[in-house]
Amino acid sequence: MLQKIDYPNQSSRPPLLVVHGLYGSARNWGVVCRKLSADRPVQAVDNRNHGESDWYDTHSYLDLAEDLAQVIGAQQGKMDVLGHSMGGKAAMALAMLRPELVNRLIVADIAPVTYSHSQLPFIHAMRAVDLTQVEKRSDALSQLEAAGVDDPTLRSFFTQSLDLKAKKWRLNLDTLEAEMPKIMGFPDIDGQFEGETLFLSGANSDYVLPDHRPKIRAHFPKAAFVKISGAGHWLHAEKPAEFIATVDAWLKRGE
């Protein structure tokens, strides 16, 4: 069972499950979850090999989908599901394989396709940090910069997964490195999700392209597409107010 953070609400609206992306955690989504929980119960999970959840030797989207299915199954009812990047792929796999568990689906800046870029340099950078020399977060930030992580936003993001007291990463870097081809890919699933689906992207991002739409619609025939102006791939962090308002308005349609 995945570790999760609950944001309770007594509303009769469907509960929302939030699924983070690669190198993230449930805690990264605290601002978004607290805002959205004003109108509905919200849960945010740590995916396997991330945060406080258990570590495994595998990290396929079939694994991640089954993990999410167990979380929803414990609620004894459907949930709306919001997933970003890797979490979006896991949410799509869940919706196609176990559509009876998913009410509506929000996919944040990702498509059900294989991407050519790799996230391995960031694993190498995190491994390059000498944790014995890290006494405060700024020490790790400096080492990440020296290791080639030029973006200060990404450096700050990575250190949110650093346990300063234990001097270790809350990320299973070995498995994530070994399974990177699966993470960058997407499994060949024949299933289709007939529920309402929102593909919410950053206008400055190139993760969801017009060329992806035929494949998206083949699996998600009710897909709608919305872009957030001025946002890139990390749209929920770059434009949090706009992201929250868009998600909230879409979820309230027809409720």
pLDDT tens digit string along 95-132?
A: 999 999 999 999 999 999 999 988 999 999 999 999 99
Question: Is 138 one of the annotated active-site residues of the chain?
Answer: no
Active-site option among 151, 163, 174, 206: 174
Q: Which of 20, 50, 59, 233 is catalytic?
A: 233
What is the spatial distance between Cα 8 and Cα 40, in angstroms, rounded to a whole number? 8
- 161 catalytic per annotation: no
Q: What is the pLDDT of residues 12-25, one digit of tens each?
A: 999 999 999 999 99
Catalytic residue among 25, 85, 201, 205: 85
Cα-based distances in Å from 206 to 100, 110, 153, 176: 31, 9, 19, 23
CA 198 to centroid of chain Cα atoms: 15
**Cβ atoms of residues 61 and 158 within 8 Å:** no
pLDDT at 115: 97
Confidence of residue 84 (pLDDT cuts 50, 70, 90): very high
Could you tell me what percent of the chain has a pLDDT over 70? 100
In the chain, what are the domains?
Answer: 4-115+185-252 (3.40.50.1820), 121-177 (no CATH)
The torsion angles phi and psi of 4, rounded to 5 degrees, stand at: -145, 160
pLDDT at 254 over 80: no
Euclidean distance between CA atoms 204 and 212, whole angstroms:
16
How much is the average pLDDT of 25-31? 96
**Does the pLDDT at position 46 exceed 90?**
yes
pLDDT over threshold 80, residue 255: no
Cα–Cα distance between 19 and 17 in angstroms, integer? 7
Q: How confident is the model at residue 75 (pLDDT cuts 50, 70, 90)?
A: confident
Q: What does pTM read for this prediction?
A: 0.96
Average pLDDT, the chain: 96
Q: For residue 219, indicate whether it is catalytic.
A: no
First to last CA, the chain: 30
Residue 15: C-alpha distances to residues 81, 108, 246 (Å): 9, 18, 17
What pLDDT band is residue 183 in, cutting at 50, 70 and 90?
Answer: very high
